[in-house]
Amino acid sequence: MEKITVSLGNRTYPVIISNGLFKDLNSFWCLKANDKVMIVTNQTLSPIYLNEFIILLKNLRIKVDYIILPDGEKYKNLETVNQIISSLLKQSHGRNTILIALGGGVIGDITGFTAAIYQRGVRFIQIPTTLLAQIDASIGGKTGVNHILGKNMIGAFHQPISVIIDTKFLCSLPSREFSSGLAEAIKYGIILDNLFFHWLENNIDSLMALDENALIYCIRRCCELKANIVSIDEHEIGHRSILNLGHTFGHAIETHMGYGNWLHGESISVGMVMAACIAERLGQFKKSDTEKIINLLKRAKLPIRGPIEMVPKDYLTYMMRDKKVISDKLRLILPLSIGMSEIRNGISNELIFDVINECQDCAYIEN
């Protein structure tokens, strides 16, 4: 078992990385006898993991209820939150209850948001089952749901009391979902850690093969990087925004194409290419580094061009609703070099349009 700490004063919590979660009771240090919990999971995971998890909790003398939700990004909405709240009320859960998110980023976001608003706030635990959730979404307290006009537009900052990661979950993860998670790992290398980016270049094949040692190192390093940023800027007032490299473009793709049709990691993969190309056009990023990013994304089986159904004005409509827009001014996260990035204002719509067009037809990224 490995432990990383997210340091937030009296809301400090551990990120525990293990192999064989349901066999190690020490992972559940934050639960005690007679606690009452509500497990939130989905229809895909419940047949595989739910019964075993319930048995473990009952062995700890925990009182357990659960709710099984439909699987998919399109269910990340207020209607689903209302279903969870109704279940909590019907089963007499009070302010001392603990919600447990057993699932990927969608389940984690929905559960965390419900925990933030139920009876003005209750505790919750993240047990992320996808690579993307393990290395990114489960850490940092960002919770929320989507709106038809924009992704993650309804939410709250609400930190978990623990994040418990088990690499065994990844063995049952579809390959497309695994690749989606790798996009976030590549993002960390681009914005924060050039040595980690080079490690990914050298070890991407081992990761794709689910090599245990490679997985543990990748997850641990991503969690360390995320924990450091969150500890400095919990509410994304400043530096934490760099974690959104590619997300302004990516969220536009997810929203326009219909939630779940393009996976989050697939969308930000394209967004990172577009951000790199803009940085290159501004003269602050090397073409050779753009090529390195594109090659690594390809090796991770991620897309490098956006949906053919989208034109530049489609992107801009959603991008101007982005949470990083301040006083109607779009801000983008752009790389300066591999391992270093910045928050950049004042980029013209014309440049954004040009790069989107060039990336769409691959005229720029493959020349």
Catalytic option among 226, 256, 292, 331: 226
Active site residue 298: no
Cα separation values, 74 from 41, 148, 152, 201, 271, Å? 15, 10, 12, 33, 21
- 151 residue type, one letter: K
Asked if 99 and 122 touch (Cβ cutoff 8 Å), the reply is: yes
Is 107 annotated to bind a ligand? Reply is yes
Query: CA Rg, the chain, in Å?
Result: 20
**Residue 74 assigned ligand-binding role:** yes
Phi then psi dihedrals of residue 300, to 5 deg: -85, 5
State yes or no: is 147 an active-site residue. Answer: no
- In angstroms, how far is CA 94 from the centroid of its own chain? 29
Full DSSP string of 123-151: EEEEEE-SHHIIIIITSS-EEEEEETTEE
Which helix (H) or strand (E) is 155 found in, with range? strand 150-157
The answer to whether 247 is a known ligand-binding residue is yes
> Which residue of the set 251, 256, 292, 331 is catalytic?
251
Assess whether 309 carries a catalytic annotation.
no
- For residue 133, CA distances in Å to 57, 91, 112 come to 22, 28, 13
Q: Which of 42, 123, 184, 280 is catalytic?
A: 184
Which is catalytic among the residues 123, 177, 244, 254?
244
Could you tell me the maximum CA-CA distance found in the chain, to the nearest angstrom?
Answer: 63
Up-side HSE of residue 244: CA atoms within 13 Å toward CB? 24
Check the annotation: does 109 bind a ligand: yes
The residue annotated as part of the active site, out of 123, 221, 256, 264, is 264
Annotated catalytic residue: which of 93, 123, 142, 158?
142
Q: Is 142 annotated as a binding residue?
A: yes
Q: Known binder of ligand: residue 105?
A: yes
184 is catalytic: yes
Six token digits for residue 159:
């930190």
Residue 75 assigned ligand-binding role: yes
Whether residue 366 lies in the annotated active site: no
Point out the catalytic residue in the list 120, 202, 350, 367: 120
Query: Residue 106 in contact with residue 99, Cβ under 8 Å?
Result: no
Decide if 234 is catalytic.
Answer: no
The catalytic position among 240, 256, 292, 331 is: 240
- The one catalytic residue among 93, 123, 158, 247: 247
Contact 242, 275 (CB under 8 A): no
The yes-or-no answer on residue 344 being catalytic is no
- Find out whether 130 is annotated in a ligand binding site: yes
Is 251:318 a contact under the CB 8 Å cutoff?
Answer: yes
Q: Is 184 annotated as a binding residue?
A: yes
| Of 177, 234, 236, 358, catalytic | 236
Using CA atoms, how far apart are residues 178 and 207, in angstroms rounded to an integer? 9
- Is residue 251 annotated as a catalytic residue, yes or no? yes
In the residue annotation, 93 being an active-site residue is answered as no
Query: If you search the block for the tokens 């979950």, which residue do you land on?
Result: 169
76 annotated binding-site participant:
yes
Was 264 annotated as part of a binding site? yes
Tell me: is residue 129 an annotated ligand-binding position: yes
Catalytic status, residue 358: no
Q: Which residues are annotated as a binding site for Zn(2+)?
A: 184, 247, 264
Q: Which segments are annotated as binding site for NAD(+)?
A: 71-76, 105-109, 129-130, 142, 151
Q: Which residue ranges are tagged as binding site?
A: 71-76, 105-109, 129-130, 142, 151, 184, 247, 264
Catalytic residues: 120, 142, 184, 226, 236, 240, 244, 247, 251, 264
